[in-house]
Amino acid sequence: MNVILLVVTFGLDITKMERLLLIACSFLLLVVELLNTAIETVVDRISLELHPLSKRAKDLGGAARLVAVIMTIIIWGTVLLGG
40 is in an annotated binding site: yes
49 is in an annotated binding site: yes
Any catalytic annotation for residue 33? yes
Active-site annotation holder among 21, 28, 33, 69 = 33
44 is in an annotated binding site: no
* Exposed e or buried b per residue across 23-62, where buried means at least 16 C-beta atoms within 10 angstroms of its C-beta: eebbeebbebbeebeebeeebeeeeeeeeeebeebeeebe
55 is in an annotated binding site: no
Return binding residues. 19, 33, 40, 49-51, 58-59
Catalytic residues: 33
| Binding-site annotation, residues for a divalent metal cation | 40
